[in-house]
Structure 1
Amino acid sequence: MIDVFLNYLSDKFILSEEESYAFSRVCTIKKLRRRQYLLQQGDVWQKNAFVAKGVLRTYRVDEKGTEHIMQFSIENWWAGDRQSYHSGLPSAFNIEALEDAEIVLIPKADFDRLEIEIPKFGEFTRSLLERSFIASQNRIHASISYSAEEKYADFTKTYPDITNRIPQHMIASYLGISPETLSRIRNQIAKK
Protein backbone atom coordinates (compact mmCIF):
# COMPACT_ATOMS: atom_id res chain seq x y z
CA MET A 1 0.00 0.00 0.00
CA ILE A 2 2.97 2.31 0.36
CA ASP A 3 3.26 2.00 -3.43
CA VAL A 4 -0.26 3.44 -3.75
CA PHE A 5 0.87 6.43 -1.69
CA LEU A 6 4.10 6.87 -3.66
CA ASN A 7 2.15 6.70 -6.94
CA TYR A 8 -0.22 9.35 -5.57
CA LEU A 9 2.73 11.61 -4.77
CA SER A 10 4.33 10.91 -8.17
CA ASP A 11 1.13 12.15 -9.82
CA LYS A 12 1.50 15.44 -7.93
CA PHE A 13 5.21 16.12 -8.42
CA ILE A 14 8.38 14.41 -9.66
CA LEU A 15 9.68 12.04 -7.00
CA SER A 16 13.27 10.77 -7.13
CA GLU A 17 14.23 7.28 -5.95
CA GLU A 18 15.96 8.81 -2.95
CA GLU A 19 12.83 10.78 -2.05
CA SER A 20 10.64 7.70 -2.51
CA TYR A 21 12.94 5.85 -0.13
CA ALA A 22 12.71 8.71 2.41
CA PHE A 23 8.92 8.36 2.42
CA SER A 24 9.05 4.55 2.52
CA ARG A 25 11.24 4.66 5.63
CA VAL A 26 8.72 6.66 7.68
CA CYS A 27 5.41 5.26 6.39
CA THR A 28 3.54 2.51 8.18
CA ILE A 29 0.40 0.70 7.08
CA LYS A 30 -2.61 0.40 9.36
CA LYS A 31 -5.27 -2.07 8.30
CA LEU A 32 -8.73 -1.37 9.65
CA ARG A 33 -11.68 -3.69 9.62
CA ARG A 34 -15.13 -2.29 8.99
CA ARG A 35 -16.34 -0.34 12.09
CA GLN A 36 -12.79 -0.15 13.51
CA TYR A 37 -11.50 3.24 14.66
CA LEU A 38 -8.46 5.09 13.35
CA LEU A 39 -9.03 7.80 15.99
CA GLN A 40 -11.33 7.94 18.99
CA GLN A 41 -12.60 11.02 20.76
CA GLY A 42 -10.23 11.93 23.60
CA ASP A 43 -7.09 10.64 21.90
CA VAL A 44 -4.44 13.04 20.62
CA TRP A 45 -3.92 12.88 16.84
CA GLN A 46 -0.20 12.87 15.95
CA LYS A 47 -0.02 11.41 12.46
CA ASN A 48 -0.95 12.16 8.87
CA ALA A 49 -3.24 9.54 7.38
CA PHE A 50 -3.57 8.81 3.66
CA VAL A 51 -6.41 6.51 2.63
CA ALA A 52 -4.97 3.91 0.26
CA LYS A 53 -8.08 1.72 0.35
CA GLY A 54 -11.55 2.03 1.84
CA VAL A 55 -13.88 4.71 3.17
CA LEU A 56 -13.57 6.49 6.51
CA ARG A 57 -15.94 8.84 8.25
CA THR A 58 -14.97 11.62 10.65
CA TYR A 59 -17.70 12.42 13.13
CA ARG A 60 -18.47 13.63 16.60
CA VAL A 61 -21.26 12.82 18.99
CA ASP A 62 -23.22 15.62 20.68
CA GLU A 63 -24.46 15.67 24.28
CA LYS A 64 -27.72 14.02 23.16
CA GLY A 65 -25.85 11.11 21.59
CA THR A 66 -26.52 12.22 18.01
CA GLU A 67 -23.73 11.61 15.50
CA HIS A 68 -22.70 14.47 13.22
CA ILE A 69 -20.55 13.41 10.28
CA MET A 70 -18.04 16.05 9.27
CA GLN A 71 -16.23 14.29 6.46
CA PHE A 72 -15.88 11.13 4.42
CA SER A 73 -12.40 10.16 3.25
CA ILE A 74 -12.06 7.83 0.28
CA GLU A 75 -9.12 6.42 -1.63
CA ASN A 76 -6.41 9.02 -2.31
CA TRP A 77 -7.83 11.41 0.30
CA TRP A 78 -6.41 12.35 3.69
CA ALA A 79 -8.01 11.95 7.12
CA GLY A 80 -7.24 13.28 10.57
CA ASP A 81 -8.00 15.94 13.13
CA ARG A 82 -6.03 19.10 12.30
CA GLN A 83 -6.86 20.84 15.59
CA SER A 84 -5.60 17.97 17.75
CA TYR A 85 -2.62 17.51 15.41
CA HIS A 86 -1.45 21.11 15.81
CA SER A 87 -2.51 21.80 19.40
CA GLY A 88 -1.72 18.47 21.03
CA LEU A 89 -5.16 18.58 22.67
CA PRO A 90 -7.46 15.56 22.81
CA SER A 91 -9.60 15.12 19.72
CA ALA A 92 -13.32 15.81 19.73
CA PHE A 93 -13.72 13.48 16.74
CA ASN A 94 -13.91 9.81 15.91
CA ILE A 95 -12.58 8.43 12.64
CA GLU A 96 -14.09 5.07 11.73
CA ALA A 97 -13.72 2.71 8.78
CA LEU A 98 -17.00 2.16 6.93
CA GLU A 99 -15.46 -0.76 5.07
CA ASP A 100 -12.16 -2.62 5.34
CA ALA A 101 -9.46 -0.01 4.84
CA GLU A 102 -5.71 0.39 4.51
CA ILE A 103 -4.20 3.63 5.73
CA VAL A 104 -0.68 4.97 5.21
CA LEU A 105 0.44 6.73 8.39
CA ILE A 106 3.29 9.22 8.70
CA PRO A 107 4.22 10.55 12.16
CA LYS A 108 4.04 14.33 12.57
CA ALA A 109 7.77 14.81 13.20
CA ASP A 110 8.71 12.83 10.06
CA PHE A 111 6.07 14.58 7.96
CA ASP A 112 7.28 18.01 9.10
CA ARG A 113 10.90 17.06 8.39
CA LEU A 114 10.05 15.78 4.88
CA GLU A 115 8.20 19.02 4.09
CA ILE A 116 11.49 20.85 4.75
CA GLU A 117 13.86 18.31 3.16
CA ILE A 118 11.70 17.92 0.02
CA PRO A 119 10.51 21.47 -0.79
CA LYS A 120 8.14 20.30 -3.55
CA PHE A 121 6.41 18.11 -0.97
CA GLY A 122 6.07 21.13 1.34
CA GLU A 123 4.58 23.14 -1.55
CA PHE A 124 2.19 20.29 -2.31
CA THR A 125 0.97 20.01 1.30
CA ARG A 126 0.44 23.78 1.54
CA SER A 127 -1.61 23.64 -1.65
CA LEU A 128 -3.53 20.64 -0.28
CA LEU A 129 -4.34 22.53 2.93
CA GLU A 130 -5.51 25.55 0.93
CA ARG A 131 -7.83 23.37 -1.14
CA SER A 132 -9.07 21.70 2.04
CA PHE A 133 -9.82 25.09 3.59
CA ILE A 134 -11.73 26.16 0.48
CA ALA A 135 -13.69 22.88 0.53
CA SER A 136 -14.57 23.53 4.19
CA GLN A 137 -15.78 27.03 3.35
CA ASN A 138 -17.91 25.64 0.52
CA ARG A 139 -19.33 22.95 2.82
CA ILE A 140 -20.27 25.54 5.45
CA HIS A 141 -21.91 27.69 2.79
CA ALA A 142 -23.85 24.73 1.42
CA SER A 143 -25.01 23.64 4.86
CA ILE A 144 -26.42 27.06 5.75
CA SER A 145 -27.82 28.15 2.40
CA TYR A 146 -28.70 25.13 0.22
CA SER A 147 -32.00 23.30 0.16
CA ALA A 148 -31.97 19.60 1.02
CA GLU A 149 -32.11 18.78 -2.70
CA GLU A 150 -29.17 21.09 -3.45
CA LYS A 151 -27.16 19.60 -0.57
CA TYR A 152 -27.65 16.09 -1.96
CA ALA A 153 -26.76 17.21 -5.50
CA ASP A 154 -23.58 18.82 -4.15
CA PHE A 155 -22.76 15.64 -2.22
CA THR A 156 -23.12 13.42 -5.29
CA LYS A 157 -20.93 15.83 -7.24
CA THR A 158 -18.23 15.84 -4.53
CA TYR A 159 -18.41 12.08 -3.87
CA PRO A 160 -19.64 10.61 -7.18
CA ASP A 161 -18.30 7.11 -6.61
CA ILE A 162 -19.32 6.41 -3.04
CA THR A 163 -23.05 6.99 -2.62
CA ASN A 164 -23.55 3.22 -2.82
CA ARG A 165 -20.72 2.54 -0.36
CA ILE A 166 -22.16 4.63 2.48
CA PRO A 167 -25.38 3.88 4.39
CA GLN A 168 -28.17 6.33 3.63
CA HIS A 169 -28.54 7.44 7.27
CA MET A 170 -24.86 8.48 7.29
CA ILE A 171 -25.26 10.51 4.11
CA ALA A 172 -28.26 12.20 5.75
CA SER A 173 -26.18 12.95 8.86
CA TYR A 174 -23.43 14.47 6.72
CA LEU A 175 -25.99 16.65 4.92
CA GLY A 176 -27.78 17.65 8.12
CA ILE A 177 -31.13 16.28 6.97
CA SER A 178 -33.33 13.43 8.12
CA PRO A 179 -33.02 9.97 6.52
CA GLU A 180 -36.68 10.31 5.46
CA THR A 181 -35.95 13.55 3.59
CA LEU A 182 -32.99 11.93 1.85
CA SER A 183 -35.13 8.94 0.89
CA ARG A 184 -37.74 11.29 -0.61
CA ILE A 185 -35.06 13.16 -2.60
CA ARG A 186 -33.55 9.94 -3.92
CA ASN A 187 -37.00 8.66 -4.95
CA GLN A 188 -37.70 11.90 -6.80
CA ILE A 189 -34.39 11.60 -8.66
CA ALA A 190 -35.07 7.94 -9.54
CA LYS A 191 -38.45 8.90 -11.07
CA LYS A 192 -36.86 11.44 -13.43
Structure 2
Amino acid sequence: MEEELLIIKNISRHISLTNQEKSYFLSLLKQKKIAKKELILQHQQVCKEINFVQSGILRAFHMDASGKESTIMFAISDWWITDMYCFINQKPAMLNIEALEESCILQLQKDDLDQLYLNVPKFERFFRIMMQNAYIREQLRTIENLSLSAEERYYNFLRKYPEAVKQIKQKQIASYLGITPEFLSLIKSNKQKNRFS
Protein backbone atom coordinates (compact mmCIF):
# COMPACT_ATOMS: atom_id res chain seq x y z
CA MET A 1 0.00 0.00 0.00
CA GLU A 2 1.17 3.51 -0.84
CA GLU A 3 0.26 4.75 2.66
CA GLU A 4 2.41 2.06 4.25
CA LEU A 5 5.29 2.99 1.95
CA LEU A 6 5.14 6.59 3.18
CA ILE A 7 5.64 5.63 6.83
CA ILE A 8 8.37 3.11 5.91
CA LYS A 9 10.16 5.83 3.90
CA ASN A 10 9.85 8.14 6.91
CA ILE A 11 11.47 5.57 9.19
CA SER A 12 14.09 4.51 6.63
CA ARG A 13 15.63 7.99 6.75
CA HIS A 14 17.13 6.99 10.12
CA ILE A 15 17.14 3.19 10.43
CA SER A 16 17.20 0.19 8.08
CA LEU A 17 14.60 -2.51 8.55
CA THR A 18 14.40 -6.09 7.33
CA ASN A 19 11.17 -7.16 5.60
CA GLN A 20 10.22 -9.07 8.73
CA GLU A 21 10.75 -5.99 10.92
CA LYS A 22 8.71 -3.86 8.51
CA SER A 23 5.86 -6.37 8.60
CA TYR A 24 5.93 -6.55 12.38
CA PHE A 25 5.93 -2.75 12.72
CA LEU A 26 3.07 -2.33 10.24
CA SER A 27 1.04 -4.97 12.10
CA LEU A 28 1.07 -2.72 15.19
CA LEU A 29 -0.45 0.28 13.39
CA LYS A 30 -4.12 1.14 13.22
CA GLN A 31 -5.33 3.20 10.28
CA LYS A 32 -7.95 5.82 11.06
CA LYS A 33 -9.85 8.19 8.77
CA ILE A 34 -10.80 11.47 10.40
CA ALA A 35 -13.51 13.90 9.34
CA LYS A 36 -12.81 17.62 9.11
CA LYS A 37 -12.99 19.24 12.60
CA GLU A 38 -12.96 15.82 14.32
CA LEU A 39 -10.80 15.60 17.46
CA ILE A 40 -8.49 12.60 17.79
CA LEU A 41 -7.36 13.79 21.22
CA GLN A 42 -9.23 15.94 23.70
CA HIS A 43 -7.93 17.87 26.68
CA GLN A 44 -7.91 15.65 29.83
CA GLN A 45 -8.28 12.41 27.81
CA VAL A 46 -5.40 9.97 28.46
CA CYS A 47 -3.05 10.21 25.48
CA LYS A 48 -2.57 6.63 24.29
CA GLU A 49 -1.33 7.04 20.70
CA ILE A 50 1.31 8.67 18.60
CA ASN A 51 -0.01 9.49 15.12
CA PHE A 52 1.59 9.47 11.69
CA VAL A 53 -0.19 11.66 9.13
CA GLN A 54 -0.70 9.87 5.83
CA SER A 55 -2.83 12.60 4.30
CA GLY A 56 -4.54 15.78 5.44
CA ILE A 57 -3.61 18.32 8.11
CA LEU A 58 -3.85 18.07 11.89
CA ARG A 59 -3.54 20.83 14.46
CA ALA A 60 -2.50 20.54 18.12
CA PHE A 61 -3.79 23.36 20.29
CA HIS A 62 -4.20 24.35 23.93
CA MET A 63 -7.35 26.04 25.18
CA ASP A 64 -7.19 28.21 28.30
CA ALA A 65 -9.95 28.64 30.90
CA SER A 66 -11.47 31.54 28.95
CA GLY A 67 -11.69 29.46 25.75
CA LYS A 68 -8.76 31.15 23.97
CA GLU A 69 -6.92 28.75 21.66
CA SER A 70 -3.15 28.70 21.18
CA THR A 71 -1.96 26.55 18.29
CA ILE A 72 1.13 24.55 19.25
CA MET A 73 1.81 22.81 15.93
CA PHE A 74 0.41 21.71 12.60
CA ALA A 75 1.15 18.27 11.17
CA ILE A 76 0.97 17.65 7.44
CA SER A 77 1.48 14.47 5.42
CA ASP A 78 4.64 12.54 6.49
CA TRP A 79 4.69 14.16 9.98
CA TRP A 80 4.15 12.66 13.44
CA ILE A 81 1.94 14.29 16.08
CA THR A 82 0.85 13.63 19.68
CA ASP A 83 0.82 15.31 23.08
CA MET A 84 4.34 14.00 23.72
CA TYR A 85 4.60 14.63 27.48
CA CYS A 86 1.23 13.00 28.11
CA PHE A 87 1.86 10.15 25.66
CA ILE A 88 5.22 9.19 27.21
CA ASN A 89 3.88 9.47 30.77
CA GLN A 90 0.36 8.21 30.03
CA LYS A 91 -1.17 11.33 31.56
CA PRO A 92 -4.37 13.23 30.70
CA ALA A 93 -3.76 15.37 27.62
CA MET A 94 -2.91 19.05 27.89
CA LEU A 95 -3.64 19.50 24.19
CA ASN A 96 -6.46 18.92 21.73
CA ILE A 97 -5.62 17.49 18.30
CA GLU A 98 -8.09 18.08 15.48
CA ALA A 99 -8.24 17.47 11.73
CA LEU A 100 -8.38 20.67 9.68
CA GLU A 101 -9.55 18.69 6.67
CA GLU A 102 -10.50 15.10 5.97
CA SER A 103 -7.37 13.21 6.99
CA CYS A 104 -5.95 9.71 7.30
CA ILE A 105 -3.54 8.70 10.07
CA LEU A 106 -1.71 5.64 11.33
CA GLN A 107 -1.81 5.26 15.11
CA LEU A 108 0.69 3.46 17.32
CA GLN A 109 -0.37 2.68 20.91
CA LYS A 110 2.04 3.36 23.78
CA ASP A 111 1.98 -0.32 24.88
CA ASP A 112 2.79 -1.42 21.33
CA LEU A 113 5.62 1.12 21.11
CA ASP A 114 7.13 -0.28 24.32
CA GLN A 115 6.87 -3.80 22.87
CA LEU A 116 8.41 -2.58 19.61
CA TYR A 117 11.45 -1.28 21.54
CA LEU A 118 11.93 -4.73 23.06
CA ASN A 119 11.44 -6.70 19.84
CA VAL A 120 13.19 -4.34 17.41
CA PRO A 121 15.61 -2.23 19.52
CA LYS A 122 16.66 -0.06 16.55
CA PHE A 123 13.26 1.67 16.82
CA GLU A 124 14.55 3.30 20.00
CA ARG A 125 17.10 5.06 17.81
CA PHE A 126 14.41 6.17 15.36
CA PHE A 127 12.11 7.65 18.02
CA ARG A 128 15.06 9.22 19.86
CA ILE A 129 16.08 11.04 16.66
CA MET A 130 12.47 12.04 16.01
CA MET A 131 12.10 13.47 19.54
CA GLN A 132 15.45 15.27 19.31
CA ASN A 133 14.34 16.88 16.04
CA ALA A 134 11.01 17.90 17.60
CA TYR A 135 12.84 19.45 20.57
CA ILE A 136 15.19 21.36 18.24
CA ARG A 137 12.22 22.57 16.16
CA GLU A 138 10.43 23.86 19.27
CA GLN A 139 13.59 25.54 20.60
CA LEU A 140 14.10 27.32 17.26
CA ARG A 141 10.46 28.36 17.24
CA THR A 142 10.80 29.82 20.76
CA ILE A 143 13.90 31.78 19.68
CA GLU A 144 12.02 32.97 16.56
CA ASN A 145 9.15 34.19 18.74
CA LEU A 146 11.60 36.12 20.92
CA SER A 147 13.80 37.57 18.18
CA LEU A 148 11.79 37.96 14.96
CA SER A 149 8.99 40.34 14.09
CA ALA A 150 5.48 38.97 13.51
CA GLU A 151 5.96 39.63 9.79
CA GLU A 152 9.18 37.58 9.66
CA ARG A 153 7.49 34.76 11.61
CA TYR A 154 4.62 34.77 9.12
CA TYR A 155 7.01 34.50 6.13
CA ASN A 156 8.81 31.62 7.86
CA PHE A 157 5.42 29.96 8.40
CA LEU A 158 4.64 30.28 4.65
CA ARG A 159 7.97 28.63 3.82
CA LYS A 160 7.36 25.80 6.32
CA TYR A 161 3.78 25.00 5.22
CA PRO A 162 3.54 26.25 1.58
CA GLU A 163 0.74 23.89 0.51
CA ALA A 164 -1.13 23.56 3.78
CA VAL A 165 -1.46 27.31 4.30
CA LYS A 166 -4.45 27.38 1.91
CA GLN A 167 -6.33 24.91 4.16
CA ILE A 168 -5.57 26.61 7.48
CA LYS A 169 -7.88 29.35 8.81
CA GLN A 170 -6.39 32.76 9.38
CA LYS A 171 -7.28 32.71 13.11
CA GLN A 172 -5.40 29.37 13.48
CA ILE A 173 -2.31 30.77 11.77
CA ALA A 174 -2.53 33.87 13.99
CA SER A 175 -2.79 31.74 17.15
CA TYR A 176 0.30 29.76 16.04
CA LEU A 177 2.20 33.01 15.49
CA GLY A 178 0.97 34.52 18.79
CA ILE A 179 -0.76 37.49 17.13
CA THR A 180 -4.36 38.56 16.53
CA PRO A 181 -6.17 37.67 13.27
CA GLU A 182 -6.54 41.43 12.64
CA PHE A 183 -2.76 41.95 12.86
CA LEU A 184 -2.23 39.01 10.51
CA SER A 185 -4.65 40.65 8.02
CA LEU A 186 -2.54 43.80 8.20
CA ILE A 187 0.66 41.83 7.50
CA LYS A 188 -0.99 40.11 4.52
CA SER A 189 -2.33 43.35 3.07
CA ASN A 190 1.11 44.96 3.42
CA LYS A 191 2.59 41.97 1.59
CA GLN A 192 0.08 42.48 -1.25
CA LYS A 193 0.85 46.24 -1.44
CA ASN A 194 4.60 45.55 -1.55
CA ARG A 195 4.09 43.06 -4.36
CA PHE A 196 2.37 45.67 -6.55
CA SER A 197 4.39 48.76 -5.56
Q: Compute the TM-score of the two structures, normalised by the length of structure 2.
A: 0.91
What's 1:174 paired with? 176
User: Contact (CA 8 Å) 2:11, 2:126: kept in 1 or not?
Assistant: no
Deviation at 1:34, TM superposition (A): 0.1
Alignment of 1:27-66 (within 5 A): 27-66=29-68
Partner SS, residue 68 of structure 1: strand
Structure 1, unmatched stretches of 5+, are: none
What's 1:19 paired with? 21
Q: List per-residue Cα deviations over 1:149-192 (Å, max 9, x = no partner).
A: 11112212222221112111110111011111111211222232
Letter in 1 for 2:124: G
What's 1:118 paired with? 120
Structure 2, unmatched stretches of 5+, are: none
Partner SS, residue 47 of structure 2: coil
Partner SS, residue 125 of structure 2: helix
**In the alignment, does 2:69 pair up with 1:78?**
no
Partner SS, residue 164 of structure 2: coil
Greater CA drift, 10-19 or 151-160: 10-19
Q: 1:183 aligns with which of 182, 185, 195?
A: 185
**In the alignment, does 2:161 pair up with 1:159?**
yes
Percent of counterpart pairs with the same letter?
34
Q: List per-residue Cα deviations over 1:124-162 (Å, max 9, x = no partner).
A: 211111110011111111222321111112212222221
Deviation at 1:13, TM superposition (A): 3.2
Partner SS, residue 163 of structure 2: coil
User: Contact (CA 8 Å) 2:36, 2:101: kept in 1 or not?
Assistant: yes
Give the CA RMSD over aligned residues: 1.5
User: Contact (CA 8 Å) 1:2, 1:27: kept in 2 or not?
Assistant: no
Q: Which runs of 4+ in 1 moved over 3 A?
A: 10-13
Matched residues, number: 192
